[in-house]
C-alpha cells in the first residue's frame, strides 16, 4: 500500500510523523500549486468549495507518483467537508483512477469503525506504539505552531523578511526530519535564537486578526500568501486558529487543553451568533471579538467562495465591527481570485487601519467591506 | 388578539400546517406574508450579503413584509428536524442573521428545533420547541398541550395528502378537506418529468418562474419528490456508502434514486439555487449517478435573482423537445 | 425556386438564411448586427433579401430562432418558432451527420450540445456570466486595440500563454492589465485570454458533459483561430468548424421550417415582404397590476396591438386593454 493524503499548510509534517513511525509507506503529493488547482478544478463541481478542488488535485498528483490509497478525514456536517470524500470517490471512479479511499470518520459514527480502519492501515502494530506515534506527531504540531507564531511576530519587524522566511523554512524542514523530540526542540530553539538576532525596526506595529475557515487560513496557496503579504505591509498577524488546536478539536475530540482552543471563542460569539453553525462559523465570530478585546487594529476573514458557515459569520460581523469599533475585511477566495485584486484590497485595508490608529480610533469608518 | 407572522419562505413549505394550527390553537392570529413578488425579493436582496443564496434572501424579504404589522415573528432556529441530519448552516444562524441585518424587528420566537440523536418520534423536536414558544405566549399549559396535539394532527393530514398525490401547493391550502383529486393525465401529456429541488424553490412560483405551470403548459405532467413517502426515500438512501447529513440533500438523493427506478418517467429536471452549499455536492452525485444509470436525461437549472425568464423558457422548451425527439428514435 | 427562410435574432447578430427544398444554402447568408434593435434588423434583412431574389423565387416556409424568436415570429409570420438548441443541432447534423458534440459560442451566451446517434441527449447553456462568451473577447480585443481577427491571429504566435484568472470579464480584465504591467508579451497575453475563455467555458457550460469527437464548433467566436487552438489544446481533439459557422442557428431554423411545411403539406404563414414597409412600434411598459411589476413587451403594427408578452399572469393578451389605465408607460423604446 502506498498511502497519500491531501495538503493543508504544514499538516503533512504532522501526519507524516505519525504514519512513518507506524511503519507506513507514504507517497506525498507535491506542494499545492497552480497545476494542482487546475487539475482539481477541471474535475470538481463548479461550486464545490476551493479546498475540495485542491484536495482532488492533490490526489491526482499523488497518483502520478504512484500512490494507490488515500487517507482522508470525514465528518458529520453540516459543513460540506464531511461529504468531500464521498463525492471525490465518485469523481475518481468516473475518471477511471484506481485509488482506494480510507475515510476516518469522527468517533460519533462509532469507535468501532474508526479502530477497524486504523487496524486496516497499520496492520498489527501494538496500541502502545500507536499512542507513542501520536504523541510524537503532536510534539511536531506544537513545534510548528511555535515557530510560525514567532514568524508572524517578527515578519513586520525584521529588515530582511526574505532571510527570516528562509530561516523559517529551514526550521520547518528540520522539524520534519527530526527523528525524536530532542531534535524537534533543538530545531525550534535554533530558529528562535537566530531569528531574534536579526536587525529589526522599532515601534508599534499594526496588528490584524486573521479569522475564517481553517483550510483557507492554514494553506498559503489557498489564501494567496496572505500572511506574507500582510507582513511585508508592516502588519503583525494574530491568527485565531492553529494547527495543533485543529488537530485537538478534530482528532482528539477536544480532550487536551490547548492554547487557542475553540470553547472560548464560542462564548465570545454568543451575543452575535448563538448557535453552532458548522465549520468554523462560530469561531470566526468569536475570534473577531477576541481580536477586538486584544486591541487589534482590524480583522480579516478568509473563506472559500460559497462557504456556508463563513457566510453566516460574515452576515453578523458588521454588528461586531460596530460594537467594538473594529474594521473587518472579508475575502472569499477560489481559483478565480486575482492576485492584483487581493493585494489592492489588503493595501487599502492596511491604510484604513493606519488612518484609524492615527486618529486615535475616533471616527467610526464603515466597518466592513468585502472583496473577491 | 396578538398576531404572529410566518414568512412564506424556506420551511414554510414543509411545516406550515403544523405551525398554523399551533398558533391558532393558542388563540393567536396567524399572518402569512404574501406570495413572493418582486418587491419582496428586492427588499431581501437589499439587506443580505450577495453571497447568501436566493431562498434566504427571499426569506429576509418576507420578514420585512411582515415586520410592521405583527407582534411576534416565528423564525425557529432549525438545527435538525430529524436525527443526525441538518438542513444547512444558514438555517442554524437565521435568527442571528436577521438581527444583524434588519433593525427594529418584532419579538422573534426563535426557539431551537433540534432532534436528538436517538429520537424516534419525528414530532418530538417540535414538541420541545412548542413548549418553550407556548410559555412565551400563555401561562396555560393545558392550552399549549392541546394546541400542540392539534398541530400534529394537521401536519399528519397534510403529509397524507401529499402521499396521495396532491401537489404541495394545493395541500397547503387551508380548509383542504383531504379530498384528493389527482389531475387526469390527458393523452397529450404523454411526457412525465421528475422534478428535483428544495420545496421553497419548486413551489415558490416567483423563484421558480412558475416552473411547474410552464411544464404543464408544455404538455408535461411533473412528478415531485413530495409524492414519495418518507419510507420510499429512506429505503433508497439507506444503500449509500455514507449517511447523508443534510435533510434536504437526503430527500433529493432519495427522490432521484426512486426516479431512476421509475420506468414511466421520461426525464428529470433538477432546480437549485446558485450558491447552495449542500446542492453543489448533492447535485453532482445525482448527475453522476444519472449518467452511470445511462437512462434518464437530466437537466440542471440554477436560479438566482438575476436569472432571466427567457433563458429558462428556452431551456425548458429545448429539454422537452429533446425528450420527444429521443422517444421517436 | 421554392425557398425556405430561417431567421436567428440574437442579442449581437441577426442572421437570415435561405435554403432550397433540398436543404442546400441558396445565395449568401446575411449576417447583420442587431444593435439593440431587433425589429430594424429583421426589416433590414428582409429588404436585402427582397432586392436579391428573382421574381420566380417563392418563400414557402419561415422558421425563427434566437432570443428574440417570438418577436421575429410575430413580425414575419413564422411557421415554426424554435429554441436555439434544437436549431443548432439540426444544422450541425446536416453538416456533420455523425457529430457528437457541438460547442456554440455566440456574443452573449454559449451552449454545449451533446448528441448520440443523431439525437440531442444533453445540453447546457451558460448560467451566471459571460466569461465564456464572445463579449469577453470583444471587450479584451477592444482594450488591446485589436480587431477580432487580429486577436485570433496574434494568439497563434504565443510561445508561453499567460494564465489569466477571473471568473468574470471585469476581473479577468484587471488581471490581464496586471499581467501586462508585469511585462508579458502581447501574443502570450492574447493566447492566455483565449485559454481563459476556453477554461471558463469548459468549467461552466461544459462541466460534467461527455465531450466526444466529432466536435463541431460554431457561433461567431468560431472565427477566432486563437480560440480554436485553445479548444484543441484543452480537449486534445480535432475541432471542426463548418463553413457557415456564424449562421448555423438561422440555417437550422430554415431546415426546421422546410421539414414542418413538407411533412404537413401546409401553406406558409409568411406575411410577405410587405412587412418591411409596415410601421412596427415595439415598446415595453411596467405593469402595475401587482407587486411583480412585470415588464411587458408590446408590439404594434400601424397602431394596432400585434402581440404582447412578458407578463407572468397572462392578463396582457392582444385584447385591447388600455395600458395607460393600469400601467406606467415607459418612455424609452424597447432595447
Chain B within 8 Å of C11 (Cβ-Cβ)?
no
Among B105-109, B182-186, C34-38, which range has the highest average pLDDT? B105-109
Residues of C in contact with A46 (CB under 8 A): 203-204, 207
Give SS3 for C85: helix
**Is the bond leading into C214 cis (omega within 30 degrees of zero)?**
yes
Where does the pLDDT of residue B166 fall: very low under 50, low under 70, confident under 90, or very high at 90 and above? confident
Same domain, A108 and A212: no
Domain ranges, ordered by start, for chain C: 2-91+248-276, 98-241, 279-334
Residues of A in contact with C171 (CB under 8 A): 336, 338, 341, 372
Chain A within 8 Å of C142 (Cβ-Cβ)?
no
Residue A292: which residues within 8 A CB-CB, separation 6 or more?
A: A209, A299, A320, A324, A325, A326
Asked whether residue B15 carries a pLDDT value surpassing 50, the answer given is yes
Chain A within 8 Å of C160 (Cβ-Cβ)?
no
Cell of A72: 482522508
Separation of alpha carbons C206 and A46, rounded Å: 10
Least confident of A42-46, A290-294, B92-96, C312-316: C312-316
Touching B: which chains, 3+ CB pairs < 8 A? A, C
Same domain, A131 and A268: no
Triad C283, C286, C291: Cα angle to 5° = 160
- Tell me the shortest Cα–Cα distance from C184 to chain A, in angstroms: 15
Least confident of A135-139, A182-186, A349-353, B175-179: B175-179
Separation of alpha carbons B238 and A259, rounded Å: 41
Least confident of A148-157, A271-280, C161-170, C277-286: C161-170
- Tell me the shortest Cα–Cα distance from C120 to chain B, in angstroms: 6
Nearest to C121 among B38, B284, B326 (CB): B326
Between 3.40.50.300, 3.40.50.880, 3.40.50.11890, 3.40.350.10, what CATH number should domain B3-174 receive? 3.40.50.11890
Please give the residue that has the higher pLDDT: either C294 or A89. A89
CB contact (8 A) between residue A76 and residue B283: no
Where does the pLDDT of residue A112 fall: very low under 50, low under 70, confident under 90, or very high at 90 and above? confident
Nearest to A76 among B51, B95, B245 (CB): B245
Residues of A in contact with C163 (CB under 8 A): 34
CA B35 to chain centre: 14
Percent of chain C predicted with pLDDT > 70: 90
CB contact (8 A) between residue B38 and residue C123: no
CB contact (8 A) between residue B322 and residue C117: no
Query: Among residues A81, A78, A49, A63, which one has the least CA distance to residue A4?
Result: A63
Separation of alpha carbons B256 and B254, rounded Å: 5
Separation of alpha carbons A151 and A167, rounded Å: 10
Asked whether residue A253 carries a pLDDT value surpassing 80, the answer given is no
Same domain, A256 and A222: yes
Residues of B in contact with A78 (CB under 8 A): 86-89, 92, 245-246, 278
Asked whether residue A222 carries a pLDDT value surpassing 90, the answer given is yes
CB contact (8 A) between residue B300 and residue C125: no
Nearest to C291 among B39, B321, B329 (CB): B39
- Tell me the shortest Cα–Cα distance from A291 to chain C, in angstroms: 32
- Tell me the shortest Cα–Cα distance from A41 to chain C, in angstroms: 8
Instruction: Please give the mean pLDDT across all residues of chain B.
Output: 91
Question: pLDDT per residue over C93-145, tens digit each?
Answer: 999 999 999 999 987 778 999 998 888 888 888 765 656 677 888 888 888 89
Nearest to B314 among C84, C121, C312 (CB): C84
Domain C98-241, classified CATH 3.30.420.40, yes or no? yes
Separation of alpha carbons C67 and C87, rounded Å: 12
Touching C: which chains, 3+ CB pairs < 8 A? A, B
Domain boundary among A125, A142, A171: A125
Same domain, A40 and A147: no
Q: Do domains C2-91+248-276 and C279-334 have the same CATH topology?
A: no
Mean of pLDDT values over A164-188: 97
- Tell me the shortest Cα–Cα distance from A202 to chain C, in angstroms: 33
Nearest CA in chain B to C83: B314
Instruction: Please give the mean pLDDT across all residues of chain C.
Output: 86
A and C: number of Cβ contacts within 8 A? 33
Tell me which DSSP letter residue A227 carries. H
pLDDT of residue C178: 86
Residue C304: which residues within 8 A CB-CB, separation 6 or more?
A: none
Nearest to B92 among A49, A82, A276 (CB): A276
- Tell me the shortest Cα–Cα distance from A305 to chain C, in angstroms: 12
CB contact (8 A) between residue C86 and residue B302: no
Same domain, A331 and A229: yes
* Domain assignment of residue A146, given as a range: 126-155+158-200
What fold characterizes domain C2-91+248-276?
Nucleotidyltransferase; domain 5 (3.30.420)
Same domain, A41 and A172: no
Where does the pLDDT of residue A339 fall: very low under 50, low under 70, confident under 90, or very high at 90 and above? confident
CB contact (8 A) between residue A45 and residue C207: yes
Mean of pLDDT values over B302-306: 85
Q: In this structure, is residue A93 part of a structural domain?
A: yes
Chain C within 8 Å of B325 (Cβ-Cβ)?
yes
What sign does the dihedral A46-A47-A52-A54 (CA atoms) show?
positive
Nearest to A341 among C171, C204, C208 (CB): C171
Chain C within 8 Å of B305 (Cβ-Cβ)?
no
Nearest CA in chain A to C234: A42
Q: Which CATH architecture has domain B186-328?
A: 3-Layer(aba) Sandwich (3.40)
pLDDT of residue B181: 52
Which residues 33-92 of chain B have a CB within 8 Å of chain C?
34, 37-40
CB contact (8 A) between residue C165 and residue A42: no
CATH number of domain containing A60? 3.40.50
Least confident of B53-62, C46-55, C286-295: C286-295
B and C: number of Cβ contacts within 8 A? 67
Chain B within 8 Å of C312 (Cβ-Cβ)?
yes
**Is the bond leading into A78 cis (omega within 30 degrees of zero)?**
yes
Question: pLDDT per residue over B205-237, tens digit each?
Answer: 999 999 999 999 999 999 999 999 889 999 999
Its CATH class, for the domain covering C279-334, is: mainly beta
Q: For chain A, what is the domain count? A: 3
pLDDT of residue C331: 34
Mean of pLDDT values over B278-300: 92
Asked whether residue A103 carries a pLDDT value surpassing 70, the answer given is yes
pLDDT of residue A121: 84
- Tell me the shortest Cα–Cα distance from C25 to chain B, in angstroms: 25
Nearest to B287 among C125, C208, C293 (CB): C208
Q: Do domains B3-174 and B186-328 have the same CATH topology?
A: yes
Chain A interface disruption, residue of B44, B78, B281, most A CBs within 10 A: B281
CB contact (8 A) between residue C165 and residue A45: no
CB contact (8 A) between residue C121 and residue B38: no
Domain ranges, ordered by start, for chain B: 3-174, 186-328
pLDDT of residue C98: 96
pLDDT of residue B136: 94
Asked whether residue C305 carries a pLDDT value surpassing 60, the answer given is yes
pLDDT of residue C129: 61
* E strand or H helix at B297: none
pLDDT of residue A362: 47
- Which residues partner with B231 through β-bridges? none
Residues of A in contact with B292 (CB under 8 A): 94
Does residue C75 contact residue C280 with C-beta atoms inside 8 Å? yes
CB contact (8 A) between residue A275 and residue B77: yes
What sign does the dihedral C64-C65-C66-C68 (CA atoms) show?
positive
Residues of C in contact with B40 (CB under 8 A): 291
What pTM was computed for the model? 0.88
- Tell me the shortest Cα–Cα distance from C293 to chain B, in angstroms: 7
Nearest to C86 among B209, B300, B321 (CB): B321
CB contact (8 A) between residue C165 and residue A339: yes
Nearest CA in chain A to B53: A306
CB contact (8 A) between residue C83 and residue B314: yes
- Tell me the shortest Cα–Cα distance from A46 to chain B, in angstroms: 8
Question: pLDDT per residue over B231-270, tens digit each?
Answer: 999 999 999 999 999 999 999 999 999 999 999 999 999 9
* Complete edge-to-edge strand list for the sheet that includes strand C119-125: C119-125, C110-116, C101-105, C215-218, C239-240
pLDDT of residue A361: 58
Residues of A in contact with C209 (CB under 8 A): none
Q: What is the β-pairing status of strands B77-82 and B85-86?
A: antiparallel
Query: Among residues C26, C126, C27, C18, which one has the least CA distance to residue C67?
Result: C126
Cβ neighbours of A64 (radius 10 Å): 12
Among A152-156, A261-265, C200-204, which range has the highest average pLDDT? A152-156
Same domain, A280 and A349: yes
Amino acid at each position: 500500500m502506498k498511502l497519500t493524503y491531501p495538503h493543508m499548510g504544514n499538516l503533512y509534517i504532522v501526519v507524516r510523523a505519525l504514519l512513518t513511525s507506524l511503519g507506513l509507506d507514504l507517497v506525498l503529493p507535491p506542494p499545492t500549486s497552480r497545476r494542482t488547482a487546475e487539475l482539481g478544478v477541471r474535475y470538481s463541481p463548479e461550486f464545490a468549495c476551493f479546498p475540495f478542488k485542491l484536495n482532488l488535485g492533490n490526489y491526482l498528483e499523488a497518483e502520478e507518483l504512484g500512490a494507490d490509497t488515500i487517507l482522508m478525514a470525514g465528518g458529520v456536517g453540516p459543513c460540506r467537508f464531511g461529504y468531500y470524500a464521498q463525492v471525490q470517490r465518485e469523481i475518481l471512479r468516473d475518471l477511471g483512477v484506481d485509488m482506494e479511499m480510507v475515510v476516518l470518520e469522527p468517533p460519533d459514527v462509532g469507535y468501532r469503525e474508526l479502530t477497524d480502519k486504523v487496524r486496516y492501515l497499520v496492520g498489527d502494530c501494538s496500541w502502545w506504539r500507536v499512542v507513542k506515534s501520536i504523541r510524537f506527531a503532536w510534539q511536531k504540531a506544537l513545534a510548528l505552531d511555535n515557530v510560525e507564531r514567532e514568524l508572524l511576530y517578527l515578519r513586520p519587524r525584521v529588515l530582511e523578511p526574505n532571510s527570516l522566511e528562509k530561516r523559517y523554512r529551514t526550521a520547518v524542514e528540520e522539524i520534519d526530519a527530526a527523528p525524536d523530540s530532542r531534535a524537534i526542540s533543538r530545531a525550534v530553539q535554533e530558529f528562535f535564537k537566530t531569528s531574534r538576532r536579526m536587525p529589526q525596526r522599532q515601534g508599534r506595529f499594526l496588528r490584524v486578526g486573521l479569522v475564517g475557515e481553517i483550510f483557507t487560513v492554514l494553506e498559503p496557496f489557498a489564501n494567496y500568501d496572505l500572511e506574507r503579504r500582510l507582513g511585508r505591509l508592516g502588519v503583525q498577524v494574530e491568527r485565531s486558529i492553529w494547527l495543533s488546536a485543529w488537530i485537538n478539536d478534530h482528532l482528539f475530540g477536544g480532550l487536551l487543553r490547548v492554547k487557542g482552543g475553540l470553547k472560548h471563542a464560542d462564548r465570545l460569539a454568543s451575543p452575535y451568533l448563538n448557535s453552532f453553525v458548522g465549520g468554523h462559523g462560530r469561531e470566526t465570530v468569536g475570534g473577531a471579538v477576541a481580536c477586538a478585546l486584544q486591541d487589534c487594529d482590524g480583522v480579516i476573514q478568509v473563506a472559500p467562495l460559497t462557504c456556508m458557515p463563513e457566510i453566516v459569520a460574515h452576515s453578523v460581523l458588521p454588528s461586531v465591527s460596530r460594537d467594538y469599533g473594529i474594521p473587518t475585511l472579508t475575502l472569499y477566495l477560489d481559483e478565480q481570485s486575482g492576485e492584483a485584486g487581493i493585494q489592492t484590497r489588503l493595501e487599502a485595508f492596511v491604510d484604513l487601519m493606519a488612518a484609524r490608529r492615527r486618529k486615535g480610533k475616533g471616527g467610526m469608518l464603515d466597518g466592513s467591506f468585502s472583496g473577491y | 388578539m396578538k398576531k404572529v407572522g410566518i414568512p412564506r419562505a424556506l420551511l414554510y413549505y414543509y411545516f406550515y400546517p403544523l405551525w398554523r394550527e399551533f398558533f391558532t390553537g393558542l388563540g393567536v392570529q396567524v399572518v402569512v406574508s404574501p406570495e413572493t413578488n418582486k418587491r419582496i425579493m428586492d427588499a431581501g436582496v437589499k439587506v443580505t450579503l450577495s453571497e447568501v443564496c436566493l431562498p434566504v434572501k427571499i426569506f429576509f424579504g418576507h420578514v420585512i413584509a411582515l415586520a410592521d404589522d405583527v407582534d411576534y415573528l416565528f423564525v425557529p432556529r432549525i438545527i435538525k428536524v430529524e436525527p443526525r441530519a441538518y438542513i444547512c448552516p444558514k438555517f442554524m444562524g437565521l435568527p442571528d442573521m436577521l438581527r444583524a441585518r434588519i433593525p427594529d424587528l418584532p419579538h422573534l420566537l426563535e426557539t431551537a428545533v433540534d432532534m436528538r440523536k436517538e429520537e424516534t418520534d419525528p414530532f418530538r423536536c417540535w414538541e420541545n420547541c412548542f413548549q418553550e414558544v407556548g410559555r412565551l405566549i400563555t401561562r396555560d399549559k393545558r392550552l399549549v398541550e392541546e394546541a400542540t396535539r392539534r398541530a400534529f394532527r394537521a401536519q399528519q393530514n397534510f403529509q397524507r395528502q401529499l402521499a396521495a398525490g396532491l401537489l404541495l401547493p394545493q395541500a397547503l391550502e387551508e380548509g383542504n378537506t383531504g379530498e384528493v383529486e389527482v389531475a387526469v393525465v390527458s393523452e397529450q401529456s404523454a411526457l412525465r418529468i421528475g422534478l428535483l429541488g428544495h420545496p421553497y424553490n419548486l413551489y415558490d412560483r416567483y423563484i421558480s418562474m412558475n416552473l411547474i405551470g410552464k411544464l404543464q403548459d408544455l404538455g408535461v405532467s411533473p412528478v415531485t419528490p413530495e409524492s414519495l413517502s418518507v419510507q420510499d426515500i429512506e429505503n433508497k438512501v439507506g444503500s449509500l456508502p455514507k449517511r447523508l447529513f443534510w435533510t434536504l440533500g437526503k430527500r433529493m438523493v432519495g427522490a432521484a434514486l426512486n426516479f431512476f427506478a421509475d420506468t414511466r418517467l421520461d426525464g428529470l429536471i433538477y432546480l437549485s439555487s446558485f450558491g447552495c452549499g449542500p446542492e453543489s455536492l448533492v447535485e453532482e452525485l445525482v448527475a453522476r449517478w444519472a449518467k452511470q444509470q445511462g437512462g434518464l436525461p437530466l437537466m440542471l437549472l440554477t436560479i438566482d435573482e438575476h436569472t432571466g425568464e427567457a433563458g429558462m423558457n428556452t431551456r425548458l422548451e429545448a429539454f422537452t423537445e429533446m425528450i420527444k425527439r429521443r422517444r421517436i428514435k | 425556386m421554392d425557398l425556405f427562410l430561417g431567421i436567428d435574432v440574437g442579442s449581437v447578430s441577426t442572421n437570415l438564411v435561405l435554403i432550397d427544398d433540398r436543404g442546400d444554402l441558396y445565395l449568401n447568408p446575411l449576417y447583420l448586427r442587431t444593435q439593440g434593435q431587433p425589429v430594424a434588423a429583421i426589416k433590414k434583412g428582409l429588404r436585402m433579401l427582397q432586392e436579391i431574389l428573382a421574381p420566380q423565387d417563392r418563400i414557402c416556409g419561415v422558421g425563427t430562432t434566437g432570443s428574440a424568436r417570438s418577436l421575429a415570429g410575430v413580425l414575419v409570420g413564422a411557421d415554426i418558432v424554435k429554441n436555439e438548441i434544437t436549431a443548432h443541432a439540426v444544422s450541425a447534423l446536416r453538416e456533420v451527420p455523425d457529430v457528437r458534440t457541438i460547442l456554440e459560442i455566440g456574443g452573449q451566451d454559449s451552449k454545449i450540445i451533446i448528441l448520440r446517434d443523431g439525437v440531442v441527449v444533453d445540453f447546457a447553456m451558460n448560467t451566471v456570466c459571460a466569461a465564456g462568451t464572445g463579449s469577453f473577447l470583444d471587450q479584451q480585443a477592444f482594450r488591446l486595440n485589436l480587431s477580432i481577427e487580429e486577436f485570433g491571429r496574434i494568439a497563434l504566435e504565443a510561445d508561453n500563454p499567460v494564465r489569466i484568472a477571473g471568473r468574470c470579464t471585469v476581473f479577468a480584465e484587471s488581471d490581464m492589465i496586471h499581467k501586462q504591467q508585469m511585462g508579458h508579451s502581447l501574443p502570450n497575453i492574447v493566447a492566455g485570454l483565449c485559454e481563459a475563455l476556453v477554461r471558463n467555458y469548459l468549467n461552466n457550460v461544459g462541466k460534467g458533459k461527455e465531450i466526444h469527437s466529432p466536435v463541431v464548433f460554431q457561433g461567431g467566436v468560431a472565427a477566432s483561430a486563437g480560440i480554436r487552438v485553445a479548444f484543441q489544446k484543452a480537449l486534445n481533439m480535432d475541432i471542426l468548424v463548418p463553413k457557415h459557422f456564424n449562421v448555423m442557428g438561422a440555417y437550422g431554423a430554415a431546415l426546421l421550417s422546410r421539414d414542418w411545411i413538407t411533412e404537413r403539406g401546409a401553406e406558409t404563414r409568411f406575411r410577405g415582404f410587405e412587412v418591411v414597409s409596415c410601421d412596427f412600434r415595439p415598446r415595453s411598459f411596467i405593469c402595475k397590476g401587482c407587486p411583480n411589476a412585470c415588464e411587458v413587451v408590446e408590439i404594434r403594427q400601424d397602431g394596432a396591438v400585434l402581440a404582447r408578452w412578458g407578463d407572468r399572469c397572462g392578463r396582457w393578451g392582444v385584447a385591447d386593454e388600455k395600458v395607460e389605465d393600469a400601467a406606467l408607460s415607459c418612455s424609452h423604446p424597447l432595447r
